[in-house]
Amino acid sequence: MITHPCLHPSLSKPSLSFLSSSSPPFLQHLSFLPTSPSITKPVLVHSVKPLHVKCSSTNPTSQSHPDHAPPISTLKIAIIGFGNYGQFLAKTLVSQGHIVLAHSRSDYSHVAKKLGVSFFLNPHDLCEQHPEVILLCTSIISTEQVLKTLPLQRLKRSTLFVDVLSVKEFARNLLLDALPPDFDIICSHPMFGPQSAKQSCKDLFFVYEKVRIGNEFSRVQRCEQFLGIFQTEGCKMVEMSCQEHDKLAAGSQFMTHTVGRVLDMLGLESTPINTKGYETLLDLVENTCRDSFDLYYGLFLYNKSALEMVERLDLAFDALRNELFGRLHYVVRKQFFENGEKVKSVHDSSYQNGAASAFSSNALRSQDVTIPYEFKGKILESVDDSSKLKVAIVGFGNFGQFLAKTLARQGHSVLAYSRTDYRDAAQKLGVSFFSDANDLCEEHPEVILLCTSILSTEKVLKSLPFQRLKRSTLFVDVLSVKEFPRNLFLQHLPPEFDILCTHPMFGPESGKNGWNELPFVFDKVRIGNDERRVARCNSFLDIFAREGCRMVEMTCAEHDWHAAGSQFITHTMGRVLEKLQLESTPINTKGYETLLKLVENTAGDSFELYYGLFMYNVNAMEQLERMDFAFESLKKQLFGRLHGVLRKELFGDSEKLEVLQEKSVGKNGAALSSSPESVKIS
């Protein structure tokens, strides 16, 4: 994993002004930039087909009914480009009994031998074997060069050419331009790779367009036989035009790779308190960082929709950041200029930001305090299982009701208080509801469980009539930030009261199927030495231990350090993607499904929760800045390389001539004329 600890804050956003209608002909030929009326667009040999989606689930010969799959006869298939992906496909081809040949600029003869593949260093030798199918597994950027080096004259006429590039319009136009009209063409995209299909290709998408297939029965049959290879493996076969593929892939594959690379630059690491959402981000990084930057750059350069996606992602991140800072500016202005409370506000901010020197994150952070606590066994040995608690839930919204279900099911006596009348919801759960905090406190609950929002916690806490509670009452919070409530409790609660800061790192969505193995973080901030008070604290923790939670004891400062790098980043990325209004496509990759699920999980939470994660975690601002710098750095990589292409096109005539001469020598063994007039850039 690549880590960028010092992404410089002075990085300026790259200008897109050079991508104008007067762009050089080379870039216009790539069909990813608009052209001015005065510039002639390249003529397309093959008209674009209307979208036609044919999934295996509706195909009578689909893998969903393997008994009806068409029989696969042996094909002789030559793989051009025998790197990781070529080898990955070769395993399946060989396993199905096909004759597989391979050619690559690098010597992979030892790998080919292990796979049962015949390897050729010289493309002439390979083409003289007269393969029925040429399968191009080259990188996007090198495809044109590799295609031009193939001795097409040594192949049989009507040979079937198939590409597996991640962009399709570029490949389609290139094959139509470079291949003789006798050759057949299929443009395909297996939307999986060695990582996502390491177990099986079943139910993974295989997109294809029959760009040019001859009318002879043998050629039609050969085309179906090749497609049958992937159908037999259980792929979802989707037929659509190359244009439609690229439109959909820009919103799924390119976006997935972009998010994965931004997160990779942050150097994300697993924490002792990973949420499910954060786990999906770690998986996304793992799946995307293994691909080369050339693949990612190819997705950007050769898909005309990709630039729009970069701009939309940039605008979405800026909009979210402005939303956060706008709310922050309002809070600061209100504190400093309204009601003459300036002095009080400055004092309050010392603990609202978690920045009080006495409780500095850096001062408390230690690997020694991050220990999984074997809690369940210890509790069951020391506490009578029949003892139940009287728990008062203050704040009976979604999360309060979510916890109340489990508390009531375990037999605890549950009371509830909220500003909103949740009397009906409480009655259904077997909970006693109070609309007056005085009435609640006079019931002398053993535990006050605060389930308020982060922003309203201080106000609610100050409104409780502490004098009506028993001395030594246990106060527990479940906020997503921990230093803020810890300092708040220590400042406002009488010294006799016990304090337990907790964070169930799950909610109604992620915990709907049970809490087993979900992390529950806690810090015994202040628990009296009396045996009954210790037992009461343990009894409360046992509620979560009995549900199978992974009990993790750590300081509030340590929690906030980890949470800023996991929970805040997860919510930030989810809200950025939400602003893009991503939609499911007929060809979702597993990575894109991850992004859609992330949006679904985070969009259900209020903006107040997200703002609270930002406002009351001292580490959040740093993480927001690092995400900004990472995205800017990634754009600089993309546009920096693109600038090199433009510069070479505009100023590198001599370099172009030299390159063409080298290509000519390599292909024909004869030097190209050095006359500038003879140079023609296609």
Q: Is residue 180 part of a domain?
A: yes
Do 148 and 282 belong together in one domain? no
26 and 682 Cβ atoms separated by less than 8 Å:
no
Q: Is residue 515 part of a domain?
A: yes
Rg, Å, the chain Cα set = 31
Which residues have C-beta within 8 Å of that of residue 44, sequence separation ≥ 6?
173, 176
How do 118-120 and 133-136 pair as beta strands? unpaired
Please check the confidence at residue 350 and state whether its pLDDT lies above 90.
no
pLDDT confidence band for 277 (50 / 70 / 90) = confident
pLDDT recorded at residue 151: 97
207 and 244 Cβ atoms separated by less than 8 Å:
no
CA dihedral 140, 143, 144, 149 (to 10 degrees): 160
pLDDT confidence band for 642 (50 / 70 / 90) = confident
How far is 333 from 342, CA to CA, in rounded Å? 10
Q: Is residue 336 part of a domain?
A: no
How do 447-450 and 474-477 pair as beta strands? parallel
**Once rounded to an integer, what is the mean pLDDT over residues 236-260?**
88
Do 583 and 527 belong together in one domain? no
How many domains would you assign to the chain?
3
**Once rounded to an integer, what is the mean pLDDT over residues 347-364?**
36
Q: Is residue 474 part of a domain?
A: yes
* pLDDT tens figures, 201-216: 899 999 999 999 999 9
- Estimate the crossing angle of helix 342-352 against helix 306-337, to 10 degrees: 130
Q: Specify the range with the lowest mean pLDDT, choosing from 110-124, 144-158, 656-670.
A: 656-670
Q: Residue-wise over 213-233: b if at least 16 C-beta within 10 A, else e?
A: bbeeeebeebbebbbbbbbbb
Please check the confidence at residue 355 and state whether its pLDDT lies above 50.
no
Do 159 and 104 belong together in one domain? yes
How far is 235 from 205, CA to CA, in rounded Å? 6
Q: Is residue 172 part of a domain?
A: yes
How far is 416 from 450, CA to CA, in rounded Å? 10
Q: Is residue 5 part of a domain?
A: no
Do 558 and 582 belong together in one domain? no
Length of the chain: 682
Q: Residue-wise over 60-71: b if at least 16 C-beta within 10 A, else e?
A: eebbbeeeebee
Enumerate helices (H) and strands (E) in the chain, giving the number of each. Answer: 26, 17
Q: Which of 518, 533, 562 is the last residue of a domain?
A: 562
Question: Regarding predicted confidence, which is higher, 333 or 251?
Answer: 251
How far is 253 from 305, CA to CA, in rounded Å? 11
Q: Which helix (H) or strand (E) holds 448?
A: strand 447-450
Q: Specify the range with the lowest mean pLDDT, choosing from 43-52, 350-359, 516-525.
A: 350-359
44 and 660 Cβ atoms separated by less than 8 Å:
no
Q: Specify the range with the lowest mean pLDDT, choosing from 172-181, 235-244, 607-616.
A: 607-616
**Once rounded to an integer, what is the mean pLDDT over residues 345-352?**
38
* pLDDT tens figures, 516-536: 999 999 999 999 999 999 999
Q: Specify the range with the lowest mean pLDDT, choosing from 35-44, 175-184, 213-222.
A: 35-44
The domain in which residue 405 lies consists of 390-562
Calculate what percentage of the chain has a pLDDT beyond 90.
50
**Once rounded to an integer, what is the mean pLDDT over residues 363-373?**
39
Question: How far apart are the two ends of the chain, measured CA to CA in Å?
Answer: 39
Q: And the tokens for 240?
A: 């659509």
**Once rounded to an integer, what is the mean pLDDT over residues 310-337?**
79
pLDDT confidence band for 383 (50 / 70 / 90) = very low
How far is 361 from 261, CA to CA, in rounded Å? 28
Please check the confidence at residue 353 and state whether its pLDDT lies above 50.
no
User: How many C-beta atoms surround the C-beta of residue 465 within 10 A?
Assistant: 13
Please check the confidence at residue 408 and state whether its pLDDT lies above 90.
yes
Q: Is residue 666 part of a domain?
A: no
Q: And the tokens for 310?
A: 């970069």
Q: Is residue 602 part of a domain?
A: yes
472 and 458 Cβ atoms separated by less than 8 Å:
no
Do 555 and 582 belong together in one domain? no
pLDDT recorded at residue 671: 39
Do 204 and 293 belong together in one domain? no
Mean pLDDT in the chain? Answer: 80
Q: Which of 531, 562, 593 is the last residue of a domain?
A: 562
pLDDT confidence band for 329 (50 / 70 / 90) = low
**Top-confidence range, 26-35, 299-308, 442-451:** 442-451
* CA of residue 286 relative to chain centroid, distance: 10
pLDDT recorded at residue 373: 47
Do 148 and 117 belong together in one domain? yes
Do 119 and 214 belong together in one domain? yes
Do 493 and 444 belong together in one domain? yes
C-alpha angle 402-405-408 in degrees, rounded to nearest 5: 145
Q: Which of 510, 535, 562 is the last residue of a domain?
A: 562
Between the CA of residue 576 and those of 312, 317, 454, 572, 586, what are the distances in Å? 10, 6, 21, 6, 23
* pLDDT tens figures, 130-158: 999 999 999 998 999 999 999 999 999 99
pLDDT recorded at residue 25: 39
CATH code, domain carrying 205? 3.40.50.720
How far is 390 from 674, CA to CA, in rounded Å? 92
Do 220 and 286 belong together in one domain? no
pLDDT confidence band for 665 (50 / 70 / 90) = low
Q: Give bridge partners of residue 551 from the DSSP assignment.
A: 520
Do 473 and 617 belong together in one domain? no
Do 294 and 433 belong together in one domain? no
* pLDDT tens figures, 75-112: 999 999 999 999 999 999 999 999 999 999 999 999 99
Question: Regarding predicted confidence, which is higher, 349 or 457?
Answer: 457
* pLDDT tens figures, 485-510: 999 999 999 999 999 999 999 988 88
